[in-house]
Amino acid sequence: MSSELKYAVFGSGSWATAIVKMICENSDQIGWYVRKQQTIDHIVSEEHNPSYLSSVELNTNQLSLNTDINKVAEAADVLIFAIPSAFIESELQNLTLDISSKIIISAVKGIIPESGLLVGEHIHENYGVDLNNVVVLSGPCHAEEVALERLSYLTIACADLDIASVIAEQFSSNYIRTNVNDDVVGAEYAAMLKNIYAIAAGMAHGLGYGDNFQSVLLSNATREMKRFIKKAHKMKRNINETVYLGDLLVTCYSLFSRNRMFGNMIGKGYTVKSAQMEMSMIAEGYYASKSAHQINKSKEKPAQTPIIDTVYEILYMHKNPKKAFKKLTEKLS
């Protein structure tokens, strides 16, 4: 496979901006789909994203910015979607171009609510993309640390390891190390689930639980993640690898974690709506908790997922966080 592939990024949030920064390290020209012309005008004139990771200096000579999703997709071989899961389908509906021959990278970290499918599965079923051409971009890696060029690790998951290796090379730099993995479904589920567990960790902190409980919570979350993914896609995997456990830990502990921040607010007494209004960024775990709960319950023999169930009950069934966590503590070991 040629390493001279043309890349395009779809989305303009912090993770999309971080991806643009990483790709620009090894590419002279990349496409960038940004929904608002006002944002493009600001990027062109000020050389940074006005709303996200504004400290990242962007060389606009490397960027082909456009509000037309079809024009951006047409000019690229590799399409990287970094749009929040709640909004990606509405954006994809504007895509009239045949993308079946493209390589698709999911950097979404969530389930598409309309279909209940992982992004890779959704694009395969609805846009005819071969599953061997579906790639998952996973962590452990926070956009904010990419902006600061702190050493970070990415996992590139693809059934075709040759494609994974080419993509990994594109992302590698002096501050980005990359690993490749063929567990596409597991990596994408892990990226979704860790956001739910980060909300749980935030709730626990907001409720006043200490580090001792957090360690027990995350130990249980690791085993729960393993059970859930095994039910969804059975294959040999080591849950202690960085794509699973590493990403889980950084999302649950980091001060940059928007999901932990969201959970912390809920634990302190905010309503879901008030917490969402106060945050300028989307907490993917809010949507993921509902999707994961529904997916698990649809199984003939659901996995034991007390943490996911507790987060779902608090966020969607309006259960009292203090009482719900008290019940949860009795189920952990």
Residue whose structure tokens are 């993509």: 167
Residue whose structure tokens are 């859930």: 228
Angle (CA) 41-43-46 rounded to 5° is 100
Residue among 18, 13, 96 at smallest CA distance from 58 = 18
Residue positions counted in the chain: 333
Distance CA 135, CA 153 (A): 16
What single letter denotes the amino acid at residue 67? T
What single letter denotes the amino acid at residue 8? A
Beta strands 78-81 and 7-10: pairing type?
parallel
Please, how many CA atoms are within 13 Å of residue 56, restricted to the half-sphere of its CB? Answer: 29
Distance CA 271, CA 294 (A): 22
Distance CA 283, CA 62 (A): 30
Q: 21, 102, 109, 194: which one is catalytic? A: 194
Q: How many CB atoms within 10 Å of residue 181?
A: 21
Strands ordered across the beta sheet of 78-81: 63-66, 30-33, 7-10, 78-81, 103-106, 134-138, 152-158, 176-181
Residue among 139, 108, 130, 95 at smallest CA distance from 256 = 139
Any catalytic annotation for residue 194? yes
Residue among 314, 297, 305 at smallest CA distance from 116 = 297
Angle (CA) 293-283-143 rounded to 5° is 125
Structural tokens at position 320: 């009292």
Active site residues: 194
